[in-house]
Amino acid sequence: MFAAEAKARDRPGTLEDVPLLLSPGQGSQSAGMLTPWLDLPDARPTVERWSDRTGLDLIGLGTSASADEVRATEVAQPLLTVVALLSGRALLGGAAPDAVCGHSIGELSALALAGVMTDDDAVALAAGRGALMAEAAAVRPTTMAAVLGGTVDEDDLAAAGLEVATVNVPGQVVVGGPVEALDAWTPPAGARVRRLDVAGAFHTSAMAPAVDGFTALVEQTAATDAVCDVVANGDGAVLRDGRELMRRLVGQLTRPVRFDLCLQSLSASEHGSGATEAVELAPAGVLAGMAKRALPGVPVTALRTPADLPVHA
């Protein structure tokens, strides 16, 4: 166990000088993203232990694998969880966060940092989730596209054989479904459509083959109530019930990520108006930009490398 993880579990609750944490999702990964974090105290032996647990060479994949190798779902998801946990533990230094919110796979590291599960279990679940989703994506060719602008009508999407996969902010929607359905789809007026380089239509019914296997993994994982508020992906609900949060991880596979609702909850809550700072954990970038728009007056930091850590971290 990371020393900081043990301290956080011994000191539940919300502290005044610790941040709201945002944990990024798939698509944030890059080749070599683990390299700078391995210089942190205890990091290398911790990641070696996680490699043993998952059967993946996480150090090799996170330091020397190509961008194409790191993009693979079964690799990207555990690596993103590892990097988020290392950066989060280094930032918190044993404190509990003010609140946490993860985007898709980012919910696993967010729940670990909130004390719902151990870091070891979060990495193991991420590896299992990634493998199961990769298998589901291989059943039928599916894909996703970002729709920027315009108004996406869910009934029109359904008629075209497509589904909403993610709503990040108003006017920024990701749709997914069979490749041929997306090829034939007529986007709404005024919208720009950008195909995403993904293995399949995540957060849609295309991931149904992964549900039973992931349910079994989640049910085998010990869970406790969160030590801070957790803003849940599916509807922006603010929760602390550990088993409910774990149950929602399964539903997340086939249902849209509603990050827009998460940001609404944060902007309307004490965390949006009173948080000392919001920090997107490594490998950061995308969520920080959204948070700056949604949380005016709250300093937002993107934690990309250990050089971005505050002096006290």
Average pLDDT over every residue of 12-35? 78
> For residue range 102-151, what is the model confidence (pLDDT) as tens digits?
999 999 999 999 999 999 999 999 999 999 999 999 999 999 999 999 89
Instruction: Kindly tell me the sign of the dihedral angle through the C-alpha atoms of 65, 66, 69, 75.
Output: positive
Domains 3-138+204-308 and 142-195 share a fold: no
Q: So where are the chain's domains?
A: 3-138+204-308, 142-195
Average pLDDT over every residue of 257-275? 78
Residue 276 pLDDT more than 80?
Answer: no
How far apart, in whole angstroms, are the C-alpha atoms of residue 227 and residue 115? 6
Looking at the annotation, which residues are catalytic?
A: 104, 203
Report whether 33 contacts 62 (CB < 8 A).
yes
Could you tell me the pTM of the whole model?
Answer: 0.91
Model confidence at 311, pLDDT cuts 50, 70, 90, reads: low
Model confidence at 302, pLDDT cuts 50, 70, 90, reads: very high
Nearest to residue 263, comparing CAs of 149, 168, 146?
168
Burial class for 54, CB neighbours closer than 10 Å (0-12, 13-18, 19+): buried
Mean pLDDT of the chain: 90
H or E stretch at 83: helix 73-92
Tallying the residues shown for the chain, one arrives at 313
Residue 6 pLDDT more than 60?
Answer: no
Average pLDDT over every residue of 202-207? 98
CATH superfamily, domain 142-195, is: Malonyl-CoA ACP transacylase, ACP-binding (3.30.70.250)
Torsions phi, psi for 204 (to 5 deg): -135, 180
DSSP code of residue 208:
G
Residue-wise burial string across 234-259, b where 16 or more C-beta atoms lie within 10 A, e elsewhere? bebbbbbebeebbebbbebbbbbbbb
Q: What is the pLDDT of residue 271?
A: 61
How far apart, in whole angstroms, are the C-alpha atoms of residue 70 and residue 179? 23
Model confidence at 272, pLDDT cuts 50, 70, 90, reads: low
> For residue range 71-102, what is the model confidence (pLDDT) as tens digits?
999 999 999 999 999 999 999 998 899 899 99
Residues 6+ away with beta carbon under 8 Å from 212: none
Q: At what angle do helices 119-137 and 43-54 cross, to 10 degrees?
A: 50
Query: What's the fold here for domain 3-138+204-308?
Result: Malonyl-Coenzyme A Acyl Carrier Protein; domain 2 (3.40.366)
